[in-house]
Amino acid sequence: MYTVNQKGGESMKKDLTIRDVARITGLRDKTLRQLAARGELVGAYRLGHKWLINRDQFEQHRGNGVDFTKKVEMNKTGTAPCH
């Protein structure tokens, strides 16, 4: 994703990996991959074999105090229930 900086030039804005989001949220990588695969992780998309999360959408949801998952209840171990 490219963004335009204040001086009018282009700068690279890197989206987040599953590992990045895991470090920020404290959730396990496996849990986040499961959420992404089910379409329950806001801003998640696949690039080849890798899951990425749109940084802007993630930061917007985190900054507003909104849960960045789409109404998924976590159990006590920090994993999403499997259906």
* Host domain of residue 57: 11-63
* Residue 8: burial class (beta carbons within 10 Å; 0-12, 13-18, 19+): exposed
Helix or strand run (H / E) with residue 30 = helix 29-37
Q: Please report the pLDDT score of residue 62 as a whole number.
A: 78
Q: Is residue 22 a part of any domain in this protein?
A: yes
CATH number where 54 lies: 3.90.105
Mean pLDDT throughout 57-73? 68
> Amino acid identity of 6?
Q
70 lies in some domain: no
Q: Is residue 78 part of a domain?
A: no
What is the tally of structural domains in the chain? Answer: 1
Considering the domain boundaries, does residue 19 fall inside one? yes
Partners of residue 4 on adjacent β-strands = 10
43 part of a folded domain: yes
In this predicted model, what pLDDT tens digit does every residue of 7-62 receive, in sequence order? Answer: 444 445 689 999 999 999 899 999 999 999 999 898 999 999 999 999 999 888 87
75 belongs to a structural domain? no
